[in-house]
Chains A and B, each alone.
Chain A
Amino acid sequence: MDDIVKMIGLKNNCTFCGVFRRQALDRGAALLKVDKLVTGHNADDIAETVLLNILRGDIARLSRCTSITTGEDGPIPRCKPFKYTYEKEIVMYAYFKKLDYFSTECIYSPNAYRGFVREFIKDLERLRPRAILDIIKSGEDFRIATTTKMPEQGTCERCGYISSQKWCKACVLLEGLNRGLPKMGIGRPRGVNGDHKKDTKKPGPAVKSIESKQCGSLDFQNFGN
C-alpha cells in the first residue's frame, strides 16, 4: 500500500485498498475452497455505507449494501453476521472478555469521505442511539424504481471475474498502476481508454507488478465495498 500511495498520492486511497483487499479475500477463499465468506462488518459500518451510498448517488450499491448475505447465487456467498451489533457493544465485549484486537488507525486516508459520515453517525448516536438501527432499517426498505437503469452483470475480459463493466475494477486499477496512470479507474467513468494526460513514462518506482492470473471461467462475486 505504501508503494501505491507513493504513486497515487493521498486521495482515493480507499478505492485501491478496498478493491485489492476484496480481491485478495475472494481469491484466498477460492483457493481454500470454502463454503462461505464471513466478514465482521457491524451496525455502524452498515449505517455508514447506507449514508455514503446516498451521498454519492450510488443506486446499485444502495440496493445491495443492507443484505445480510450477498452472492448466494455464486460459488462463495458472503455474510455479515454482526450486521445489527453496535460497534460499542463489540468494544465493550472485547474489553470485558479481555480479548486482544488491533485498533490502529489507517494512516493513508485521514480525509476519507467515510470519516465524515462516521462523525455524523457518532453525533447522531449520541443524541438518539436507535438512529443507527433505524438507518439500516431504512436502507433495507428502499425500493428502486423499475425504470432506473442498473448496471448489468457480466464478466471481466481480462481476468474472468464478475464485473459490471468491460474490465473489473481490480484490473482497471492494476493496469493504471502498471502503466503509470494513477488516475485510471478513479472518478467518473470515461471508458477504459479515457482521455487522460499523456503520461507514458515507465510505471512508478517500486510498484511490484502483481500479475493477476487468468481465471478462465471462474465466476466470483466481486461487488465493490
Chain B
Amino acid sequence: MRLTLEFGGGLELLCDSEKIHKVNVDLPNGAAAADDFTMKHLLSWVRTNLIKERPEMFMKGDTVRPGVLVLVNDCDWELSGQLDTTIEEKDVIVFISTLHGG
C-alpha cells in the first residue's frame, strides 16, 4: 500500500531528518487485510522501519506519545477513531510533535 508520511515539529530528527517519506507498506497477514489496515498497524510499521533513534519520543505503548498530533488526510485522527482509523491507498498521514521548548 503506497502512503505518504510526513513528520514535523521536531519528529523528523528521529527519521534521519527527512520530513517526507513516500513508503510502500506491506499489509500484515495476507491481502484480505486490505480493509483492516488501521493506524495501529501503521504505527508499529513506522516504529520498526522509519524511527531510527529514541522511539520513546514517538510512541508510548501502543499509541503515539501524548503531545504528538496525527492528521490523516488533513483530518485529526481523533475524529476518525484514533488507532482504529482505516488507512487506504495514497493516504497522507502527518505526525506533528507539539512539544517544544519555551
Contact = CB atoms under 8 A, between A and B. Distances in A.
A45 B100 contact: no
Residue from A41, A119, A126 having most chain B Cβ neighbours under 10 A: A126
Contacts, number: 45
Interface stretch (B20-28, B29-37, B42-50, B90-98): B90-98
A102 B69 CA distance: 17
Residue from A41, A87, A103 having most chain B Cβ neighbours under 10 A: A103
Contact of B66 (A41, A102, A123): A123
A45 B101 contact: no
15 contacts: A40-B102, A45-B102, A87-B98, A92-B71, A92-B96, A95-B69, A103-B97, A104-B100, A104-B101, A105-B10, A105-B99, A122-B66, A122-B99, A125-B66, A126-B66
Given A103-B8, A105-B99, A122-B66, 14 more contacts: A40-B102, A41-B102, A88-B69, A88-B98, A91-B69, A91-B96, A92-B69, A95-B94, A95-B96, A102-B100, A103-B10, A118-B67, A119-B66, A122-B99
Main secondary structure of the interface of A (DSSP, over half): helix
Interface string A72-88: 00000000000000011
Interface in A83-131: 87-88, 90-92, 95-96, 102-106, 118-119, 122-123, 125-126
A105 to B, nearest CB: 6
B98 to A, nearest CB: 4
A118 B65 CA distance: 12
Give the interface size class of chain B. 10 to 19
B55 interface: no
A104 B97 CA distance: 11
B9 interface: yes
Contacts of B8: 95, 103
Contacts of A88: 69, 98
Contacts of A122: 65-67, 99
B101 A105 contact: yes
Contacts of A41: 102
B101 A106 contact: yes
Interface string B59-102: 00000011101010010100000000000000000101111111
Interface string A121-163: 0110110000000000000000000000000000000000000
B9 A103 contact: yes
Given A119-B66, A123-B66, A125-B66, A91 B101 contact: no
Interface in A14-71: 40-41, 45
Contacts of B97: 103
